[in-house]
Amino acid sequence: MISEAKRRTTDVSAHNTPGKNWMQRLYKPWDTPNSLFGNLVVLGFFVVQALDGALTYLGVSRWGPGIEANPLLSSAMAYAGIGASLAAAKSVAIGFGIVLHLCRVHTIVALLTVFYVAAAIVPWTAVFLTIK
């Protein structure tokens, strides 16, 4: 009877392991310090940040700060101006991207890049294509 309970406990913990392993792989540092994937991902992250900054600058210049969906960035623009606040925000984002790259957690940088494309580049592109 004890062995049956122990077997069930083992089976339950086995079901939790795949999710745990997936999460551990997400932030696990890569073994190779000079990874082509990591280098390409961080360069893509830089390009997406620059593109987001340019599209944000053009959009806010054209339609005003009310078009910016990020309330922190919109407040910073009201306080410091469009250029300074965008330069600061993108510098911070790129700085964190570099830190993640140096820590070799390239999977997180890749996911952040995809997130920025979906949450910033695609919406700005839609705005520019639909609003005249």
What pLDDT score does 35 carry?
Answer: 82
Higher-confidence residue of 22 and 56: namely 56
Report the C-alpha dihedral over residues 29, 35, 37, 42, rounded to 10 degrees.
80
Grade residue 29 by pLDDT with cuts at 50, 70 and 90: low
> What would the pLDDT profile of 31-66 be if each residue is shown by its tens digit?
666 788 889 999 999 999 999 999 999 999 999 988
Contacts 24+ apart (CB under 8 A), 37-40: 37/106, 37/110, 38/101, 38/104, 38/106, 38/109
